[in-house]
């Protein structure tokens, strides 16, 4: 089958380790099944994998990708939940300390077929296209948990999203605006700031710019480049919700600001299978849809990786099979 594989680790030029080519079909073990992938989405996670974060040279070659929508062996249209955990660890596999995402231990979704545990499939609502559904399992699920479970926002409150066009950020902007929050955004270019407003943002600013008011919650996936600004934008008692550190993970903690203003820092990772199903139903009913920057045939995946590496994207890259 055609697959996009991490063949080498390259910390500086991650896409140099990418290979597009033939790989053996998956051989699912007991309790696992094969999904025929119709669409798969790219995440920054795939860039980290190529840099050797969460993936070592000894594990290669590894098929990349943690997002897919497709058709299962019974012909049902399904979305793949990417968190592989111990089935006995409890209802929410994302809290299993031994969990992995597809492409970390088991081959991932950027392929014609992917093997997954049977229980990791959720129904694809007919209202969503395969391309839209493929955006949900990682970026959108992570944003859903950050916004609706972790942030503790009251209806109508103000929030800031650091970054405009990323997968998680565009999902946060779209869902938070649809939910009626006053959504401020920082974006690295005028085009991205305009894009954020098109997604529903109340106002968009350059990175580091002073906001017209202090917000209750900042969503920060960027890390070092934005952390100091995130702390300064919060009202006393405010919260930062973080799921990533794209620009680096060791900004000054500024503990004096954290305790004096009684701020909270909340980590968040992925979401449960039940939340993925809720998210799919929420999209189907609300009309909220993922922003898609481009759809490419799987064989042209390198173009999508290059655009993400260069920070050019506004929304998700989706590969079709």
Ligand X SMILES: NC(=O)c1ccc[n+]([C@@H]2O[C@H](COP(=O)([O-])OP(=O)(O)OC[C@H]3O[C@@H](n4cnc5c(N)ncnc54)[C@H](OP(=O)(O)O)[C@@H]3O)[C@@H](O)[C@H]2O)c1
- Chain residues binding ligand X by CB under 6 A are 43-45, 48, 138-139, 142, 163-169, 187-188, 192, 221-222, 225, 243-244, 246-247, 269-270, 308, 311, 313
Q: Which residues contact 153 (CB under 8 A, 6 or more apart)?
A: 147, 159, 181, 216, 217
State the minimum distance, in angstroms, from the CB of residue 71 to ligand X: 25
**Pairing between β-strand 215-220 and β-strand 158-162 as defined by DSSP bridges:** parallel
Identify which of residues 269 and 278 has a Cβ nearer to ligand X in the complex. Answer: 269
- Quote the least distance from Cβ 75 to ligand X, whole Å: 30
Structural contact between residues 297 and 150, judged by C-beta atoms closer than 8 angstroms? no
Q: How far is the CB of 40 from ligand X (least distance, A)?
A: 14
Beta carbon of residue 74, minimum distance to ligand X (angstroms, whole number): 30
Q: List the structure tokens of 48.
A: 């980290």
CB 212 to ligand X: min, Å: 19
Angle 281-287-293 (CA atoms, 0-180°, nearest 5)? Answer: 105
Comparison of 180 and 208: residue with beta carbon closer to ligand X: 208
- Residue pair 93/83 in contact (Cβ under 8 Å)? The answer is yes
How far out from the chain centre does Cα 78 lie?
A: 18
CB closer to ligand X, 114 vs 270: 270
For residue 154, give every residue at least 6 positions away whose Cβ sits within 8 Å of its Cβ, in sequence order, or none.
216
Q: Which is nearer to ligand X, 167 or 251 (CB)?
A: 167
Nearer to ligand X, 26 or 304 (CB): 304
Least Å from the CB of residue 126 to ligand X? 26
Closest to 225 in 3D by CA, of 202, 250, 192:
250
Using only C-alpha atoms, what is the Rg of the chain?
19
**8-state DSSP, 111:** B
Structure tokens at 256: 């004096």
Q: Which is nearer to ligand X, 23 or 192 (CB)?
A: 192
d(CA 310, CA 305): 9
Q: How many CB atoms lie within 10 A of CB 18?
A: 21
**What's the min distance (Å) between Cβ of 169 and ligand X?**
4
Full 3-state SS string of 79-108: EECCEECCCCCCCCHHHCCCCEECCCCCCC
DSSP category for residue 66: S
The dihedral formed by the CA atoms of 285, 287, 293 and 295, expressed in degrees to the nearest 10: 60
In whole angstroms, how close is the CB of 140 to ligand X at the nearest point? 9
Q: Which one, 51 or 235, has the nearer CB to ligand X?
A: 51
Nearer to ligand X, 26 or 205 (CB): 205
Q: Which is nearer to ligand X, 23 or 243 (CB)?
A: 243
**Residue 194 Cβ, how far from ligand X at the closest point, in Å?**
12
In contact, 106 and 83? CB cutoff 8 Å:
no
């Amino acid at each position: 089958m055609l697959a996009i594989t991490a063949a080498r680790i390259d910390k500086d030029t991650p896409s140099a380790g990418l290979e597009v080519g033939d790989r053996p079909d998956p051989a699912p073990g007991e309790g696992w099944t094969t999904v025929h992938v119709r669409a798969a989405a790219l995440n920054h996670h795939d860039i980290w994998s190529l840099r050797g974060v969460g993936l070592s040279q000894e594990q290669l070659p590894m098929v990349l990708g943690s997002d897919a929508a497709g058709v299962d062996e019974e012909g049902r249209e399904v979305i793949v939940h990417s968190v592989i955990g111990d089935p006995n660890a409890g209802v929410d596999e994302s809290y299993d300390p031994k969990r992995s995402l597809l492409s970390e231990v088991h081959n991932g979704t950027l392929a014609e077929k992917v093997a997954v545990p049977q229980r990791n499939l959720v129904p694809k609502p007919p209202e969503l296209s395969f391309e839209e559904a493929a955006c949900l399992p990682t970026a959108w699920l992570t944003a859903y948990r950050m916004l609706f479970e972790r942030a503790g926002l009251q209806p109508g409150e103000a929030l800031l999203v650091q970054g405009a066009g990323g997968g998680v950020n565009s999902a946060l902007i779209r869902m938070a605006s649809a939910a009626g929050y006053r959504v401020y955004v920082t974006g690295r270019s005028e085009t991205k700031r305009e894009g954020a407003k098109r997604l529903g943002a109340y106002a968009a600013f350059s990175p580091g710019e002073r906001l017209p008011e202090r917000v209750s919650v900042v969503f920060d996936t960027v890390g070092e480049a934005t952390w100091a600004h995130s702390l300064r934008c919060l009202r006393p008692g405010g919260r930062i919700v973080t799921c990533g550190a794209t620009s680096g993970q060791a900004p000054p903690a500024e503990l004096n600001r954290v305790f004096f203003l009684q701020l909270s820092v909340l980590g968040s990772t992925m979401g449960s299978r039940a939340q993925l199903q809720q998210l799919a139903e929420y999209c189907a009913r609300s009309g909220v849809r993922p922003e898609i920057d481009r759809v490419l045939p799987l064989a042209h995946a390198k173009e999508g990786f290059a655009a993400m590496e260069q920070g050019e994207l506004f929304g998700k890259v989706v590969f079709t099979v």
